[in-house]
Structure 1
Amino acid sequence: MNTIADIGGLAAPLASAAQPRPVKMSCRKVWKLFGPDATEFLETRDGIASVDDIAKANLVGAVRNVNFDIHEGEIFIIMGLSGSGKSTLVRCLSRLIDPTFGTIEFEGKDLLKVSDAELIEMRRHRMGMVFQNFALLPHLNVLENIAFPLAVQGVDKATRTARAREMIELVSLRGREHFYPRELSGGQQQRVGIARSLATKPDIWFLDEPFSALDPLIRREMQDELIRLQSVLNKTIIFITHDFDEAIRLADRVAIMKDGQVIQIGRPEELVLNPATDYVAEFTRDVPRSKVVSARRLMRPATGADYGGTVAPDARVATFSADIVRVGKPFAVVDAAGQILGEVTPRSVVALLAGIPEEGSVHGYPDL
């Protein structure tokens, strides 16, 4: 199997054979090594080095030979255990730190060849960033915090205040314009951080474990908020998390990292059902399949049965399993135009929930 590959592409709403989304960001042979003469080490090898080679050179491989494309409007999640290299990779993509080797292109422009002045302008106007620690300025109120990056850009006060108020409405913080960070809950502080990063209207949005410091209820609320914002703004988002449940809820595609290397890329259900390595299989082992498997994946050809309901092709089985079992009839899988694409049976749902192994079904489940 491929171990460094883009497996399966994007979910249906993001791309299709007829109208693929353009590539927003691309990286090829990206490395970040720490230690003496790291750049020369990789240049003499044209970006090819084994773990043993790196160790013998007394180098540390934080990011190793990463290759992928990120498409416009995609939520691309990078995940892995602590120390896997995910945060270092995102800092390379945004050039908060410089890679040791490789190319990173943003809308076709190599970020490693732009001038410092161009990079500063890109960060100010084209890139938004949200981090785990919120990083709000304690002496500024909500309105001032959100307007701050516009002030750095030199935007006049009236314009930046109006824009900040728009963002306050967008993230549902009306009435708290004049609160200071210490007067806000953790979730409200993170909303301010999100609003501030969106104030400049970025083309690409980097989020580094933005919800990990929040308690579970607020974290889920913020996930819902991100889903809502994405439905309105359709941003290209690169999102870091170590939580697969969070990835399931948010991702179009997921990249799993281990020891600085991207092991597999795919939709959440592809990673769970078709792991490329034993590591990916172990990483996803405890994920309930009903949370990741879609109706499209489970459906069989339509028989014209007496349907007990309808379901969208991308609906997760967990969202309709109780209803289909209660009704005891197949559900038709229908697209946005109402065309029947296939059907899901109650028995196939029960088989999935019970973990019955594959028995020749083309979709990975027995055709019961």
Structure 2
Amino acid sequence: MTAAVTVAGQVRIDGRALFPPIRLQLAPGLWTALLGPSGVGKSTLLRLIAGLPIGGVFEGRVENRQPVALMAQDPGLLPWLTARQNAALGARLRGERPDAARLEAILHRTGLADHAGKLPAVLSGGQRQRVALARTLMEDRPVVLLDEPFAALDARMRMAMQDLAAAVLAGRSVLMVTHDPAEAARLADRIFLLTEDGLTEEPVPDTSPPRRAADPGAFACQAALLARMIEGVPG
């Protein structure tokens, strides 16, 4: 069972507050979606939880004693490794033998089986993003941080990868940064909106994720989130 992860405080860049003091807690075993305008600090919060440099000063605390898997916006694939080798990179860097059966299953389910021997240079942008997702899914970590993981995918592949991620990451504490209200409404157990004015928690549908594409509650949630994002002011 995963434990709660908490970030409390604020970040200053060149003396300017990126956002006011906030407190974000990831509930154990649930998906949390984080939305907000570009440049407000969403990716910065992911990097804080992952223990990575943020290019600013953090005034606060991060409470997390659990291993983390991070999928950043940039796929970050090594150009001299094949898609299969990039997907298994975590084990390779730790000097471990990757779980071959798990690797092949994930490559198949991400639609990469026919491209597993190709180098990143000959893959499309969506295929490279799927390799990065496969690499994240290969990591058996209790806390998973996803930074716009499905942004480069077409609508059909996006929904398929959402369903795959929801199944493989079930029971883990997931924080997903997204600009897509529909994605948040479909996948999240909890939804937060971060703006220059602070962090607010938004209502979610009363059905369990991942929700059907035509779920009325998800549609209503999506519309409400879009209105709040356009408004840009906590209510």
TMscore range, shorter length:
0.7 to 0.9
CA contact (8 A) 2:4 2:25 kept: yes
CA distance in 2, matches of 1:194, 1:317: 21
Higher relative contact order (CA 8 A, sep 6+): 2
CA 1:168 to 1:317, structure 2 compared with 1: closer, same or farther past 3 Å?
closer
CA 1:194 to 1:318, structure 2 compared with 1: closer, same or farther past 3 Å?
closer
CA contact (8 A) 1:149 1:196 kept: yes
Q: Does 1:193 align with 2:129?
A: no
Query: Which residue number corresponds to residue 101 of structure 1?
Result: 59
CA distance in 2, matches of 1:132, 1:75: 18
TM-score, L = length of structure 1 = 0.51
Query: Which residue number corresponds to residue 73 of structure 2?
Result: 132
Q: In structure 2, give the amino acid aligned to 1:257.
A: L
Q: Does 1:144 align with 2:85?
A: yes
CA distance in 1, matches of 2:213, 2:122: 41
| RMSD between superposed Cα atoms in Å | 3.0
Q: After superposition, give the CA deviation of every residue in 1:231-259 in whole Å (9 maximum; x if it has no partner).
A: xx432111001221111111111110111
Gaps of at least 5 residues in structure 1 are 1-20, 36-58, 110-121, 270-293, 296-311, 322-368
* SS in structure 1 of the partner of residue 34 of structure 2: strand
Query: Which residue number corresponds to residue 233 of structure 2?
Result: none
CA 1:90 to 1:260, structure 2 compared with 1: closer, same or farther past 3 Å?
farther
CA distance in 2, matches of 1:102, 1:146: 34
Gaps of at least 5 residues in structure 2 are 218-235
Q: In structure 2, give the amino acid aligned to 1:256.
A: L
CA 1:206 to 1:183, structure 2 compared with 1: closer, same or farther past 3 Å?
same
Q: Which of the numbers 255, 258, 283 marks the counterpart of 2:195?
A: 258
CA distance in 2, matches of 1:22, 1:212: 27
Among the aligned pairs, what percent are the same residue? 28
Q: In structure 2, give the amino acid aligned to 1:83.
A: G
Query: Which residue number corresponds to residue 186 of structure 2?
Result: 249
CA distance in 2, matches of 1:83, 1:149: 29
CA 1:268 to 1:193, structure 2 compared with 1: closer, same or farther past 3 Å?
same
CA contact (8 A) 1:31 1:101 kept: yes
CA distance in 2, matches of 1:143, 1:191: 11
Q: Does 1:180 align with 2:136?
A: no
TM-score, L = length of structure 2 = 0.77
How many equivalent residue pairs? 214
Query: Which residue number corresponds to residue 176 of structure 2?
Result: 239
